[in-house]
RNA sequence: GGCGGUAUCGUCUAGAGGCCCAGGACACAGCCCUCUCAAGGCUGGAACACGGGUUCGAAUCCCGUUACCGCUACCA
């Protein structure tokens, strides 16, 4: 039988990194072992669910490349089935009507708490004799439907935790259908997972305690049990549950921070999974190949943005300029560095520049920032760069004048330029740095840049000479 | 409170009884390479939560303690 896995977020916010990782593992499992990866939006909670959140989830998943099979299921559309399933359990005697007003339950709970006791739901008080039920039904009294928790114990073999067992006596008869006819989470999930023929439920381990209830529900419904895998949580650097206080928690945030989808997936995959050995930087294809449920970890992990950045830098330097182009080009246009037509017209030049910048960037933003000067008319001199390498203005101007003269008569390609400038510094009797550094400032205005000969090539003869000229003028002014 | 889960460097992790006085990566510090910055290379500090067992031998198995997390709703 083929695997059917699902990711079932509730649309009450953005796609959280924890949710994204759950989705990733489900997706990876299906890609590795075959089957379908389904998406179900748990929008039963009308009050908190929003269209916007649903869209954000779709967007986040698409950005990560975690595409799903078949139509998206909306839990809210299945309420009739949930109700029918509840009626079936009622008919089978696995559930009963509870006419106890919620307020009364609330009061009892509070009283027990005040006495320092644990509140236990008492079936004997709630389950009325048939005649009473009939009378109340005729009267139209509201009631909730409660599941009758059987005696014994419930256990399952979790793919990440091994065997987990719960004594049923610790679980109160729980509501499956509210008095307004809406299904309660644990019940809707089971009804939907059965209907979707899910074979492996892979989700956060905050659902471990829900699992025995759900297993009892499967059995009462006469449905085949899926397998379960409970993934550990992801926490913030302070070890607490990841929240707004930790800064970026939505995958969309990282997209805007200049993180590559492949890096995000790679980083997330390593929180809670290990391919074994020292393997760290992986492409999606490699992750699929290496993925195994055996490598799933049980310990909660902490989200370290620093390592994500490093990972992104690794992906940036392993992704070709041509592949990066569709991601970075829009950013360059958006930053107002160049028009779309201009980039298209100078495609080769642009890819060359991108190739030089990607290896020393950690985010796509770094690339855009560093690219600016190559699109500008002239260099903007950074104060620190000037202070450091143009300290002696007259001497710097003389050096640049010598460079200008030499370069004016040199063929324009990196090896030849290098030979010419090294020879020049030898003739001037100074170290290459004494020539290259002032030149770098003249060319890009910054302390850091790609190798100076690469900069000369990518800038081209005309612009390079013009910038050197401008720097000399600048240094000799006043 | 009850029940359940988890526990290796600050962080992510390797480790499935001897290969481990614990390996890799991020971060940090230093050095090297070098035209700068990255990258890369080398070096350094840094961990098996605690206590009992089992065993010739335990980071690895068992029990307890502690800490953290989750569930305990007519929330999801």
Q: What is the pLDDT of residue A247?
A: 73
Structure tokens at A466: 């013009």
Q: What is the pLDDT of residue A367?
A: 97
Strand, coil or helix: what is A356? helix
Q: In the predicted model, what is the mean pLDDT of residues A217-241?
A: 91
Number of domains composing chain A: 2
User: Tell me, in Å, how far CA of A311 is from C1' of B58?
Assistant: 35
A459 occurs within a structural domain: yes
Average pLDDT along chain A: 94
A471 occurs within a structural domain: yes
Nucleotide nearest to A119 in CA–C1' terms: B72
Structure tokens at A468: 């050197």
* Domain shared by A346 and A408, yes or no: no
A175-177 and A144-147 strand pairing: antiparallel
Residue that finishes a domain, picked among A375, A391, A423: A375
Q: What is the CA radius of gyration of chain A?
A: 32
A42 occurs within a structural domain: no
User: Tell me, in Å, how far CA of A433 is from C1' of B37?
Assistant: 14
The pLDDT-based confidence of A462 (bands split at 50, 70, 90) is very high
A411 occurs within a structural domain: yes
User: Tell me, in Å, how far CA of A278 is from C1' of B43?
Assistant: 21
Residue that finishes a domain, picked among A350, A375, A400: A375
Nucleotide nearest to A11 in CA–C1' terms: B76
Q: What is the CATH number of the domain that holds A404?
A: 1.10.10.350
Please classify residue A46 by burial: count the beta carbons closer than 10 Å to its beta carbon, then call 0-12 exposed, 13-18 middle and 19+ buried: exposed
* Domain shared by A417 and A452, yes or no: yes
The pLDDT-based confidence of A226 (bands split at 50, 70, 90) is very high
| Domain carrying residue A362 | 319-375
A123 occurs within a structural domain: no
What stretch of H or E contains A231? strand A227-231
The answer to pTM > 0.90 is yes
Q: Which residue is nearest to nucleotide B3 (CA to C1')?
A: A170
Q: Is residue A60 a contact partner of residue A20, using CB atoms and an 8 Å limit?
A: yes
**pLDDT over threshold 70, residue A34:** yes
The pLDDT-based confidence of A1 (bands split at 50, 70, 90) is low
Q: Which residue is nearest to nucleotide B10 (CA to C1')?
A: A237
Which of A384, A411, A390, A410 is closest to A470 using CA atoms? A390
Q: What is the pLDDT of residue A478?
A: 67
Q: Which residue is nearest to nucleotide B38 (CA to C1')?
A: A360
Name the residue with tokens 């930053």. Answer: A335
* Domain shared by A424 and A339, yes or no: no
Which of A349, A339, A259 is closest to A64 using CA atoms? A259
How far is Cα A462 from Cα A105, in angstroms, rounded to an integer?
83
Complex prediction ipTM: 0.95
Residues of A identified as active-site: 244
């Amino acid at each position: 039988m083929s695997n059917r896995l699902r990711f079932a977020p509730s649309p009450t916010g953005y796609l959280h990194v924890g949710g994204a990782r759950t989705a990733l593992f489900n997706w990876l499992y299906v890609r590795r072992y075959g089957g379908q990866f389904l998406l179900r939006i748990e929008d039963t909670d009308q009050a908190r669910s929003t269209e916007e959140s649903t869209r954000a989830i779709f967007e986040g998943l698409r950005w990560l490349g975690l595409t799903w099979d078949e139509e998206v299921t909306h839990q809210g559309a299945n309420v009739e089935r949930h109700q029918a399933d509840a009626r079936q359990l009622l008919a089978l005697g696995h559930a009963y009507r509870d006419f106890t007003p919620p307020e009364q339950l609330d009061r009892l709970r509070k009283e027990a708490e005040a006495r320092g006791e644990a509140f236990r739901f008492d079936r004997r008080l709630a389950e009325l004799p048939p005649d009473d039920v009939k009378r109340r039904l005729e009267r139209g009294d509201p009631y909730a439907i409660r599941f009758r928790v059987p005696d014994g114990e419930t256990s399952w073999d979790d793919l990440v935790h091994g065997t987990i067992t719960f004594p049923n006596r610790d679980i109160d008869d729980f509501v499956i259908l509210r008095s307004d006819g809406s299904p309660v989470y644990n019940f809707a999930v089971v009804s939907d997972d059965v209907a979707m023929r899910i074979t492996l439920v892979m989700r956060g381990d905050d659902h471990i305690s829900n699992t025995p209830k759900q297993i009892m529900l499967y059995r009462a419904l006469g449905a085949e049990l899926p397998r379960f895998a409970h993934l550990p949580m992801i926490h913030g650097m302070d070890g607490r549950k990841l929240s707004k206080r930790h800064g970026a928690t939505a995958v969309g945030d990282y997209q805007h921070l200049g993180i590559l989808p492949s890096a995000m997936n790679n980083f997330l995959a390593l929180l809670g999974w290990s391919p074994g050995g020292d393997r760290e930087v992986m492409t999606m294809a490699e992750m699929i190949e290496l993925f195994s449920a055996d490598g799933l970890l049980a310990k909660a992990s902490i989200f370290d943005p620093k390592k994500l950045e490093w990972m992104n830098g690794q992906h940036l330097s392993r992704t070709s300029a041509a592949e990066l182009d569709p991601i970075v080009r829009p950013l360059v246009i958006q930053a107002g560095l160049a028009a779309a037509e201009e980039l298209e017209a100078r495609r080769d030049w642009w890819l060359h520049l991108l190739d030089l910048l990607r290896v020393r960037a950690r985010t796509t933003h770094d690339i855009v920032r560093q690219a600016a000067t190559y699109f500008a008319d002239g260099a903007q001199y950074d104060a620190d760069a000037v202070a450091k390498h143009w300290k002696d203005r007259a001497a710097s101007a003389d050096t640049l004048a010598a460079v200008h003269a030499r370069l004016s008569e040199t063929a324009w390609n990196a090896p030849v330029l290098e030979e010419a400038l090294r020879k020049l510094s030898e003739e001037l009797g100074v170290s290459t740095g004494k020539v290259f550094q002032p030149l770098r400032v003249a060319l890009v205005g910054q302390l850091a840049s790609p190798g100076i000969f690469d900069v000369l090539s990518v800038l081209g003869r005309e612009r390079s000479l013009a910038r050197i000229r401008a720097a000399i003028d600048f240094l000799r002014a006043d």
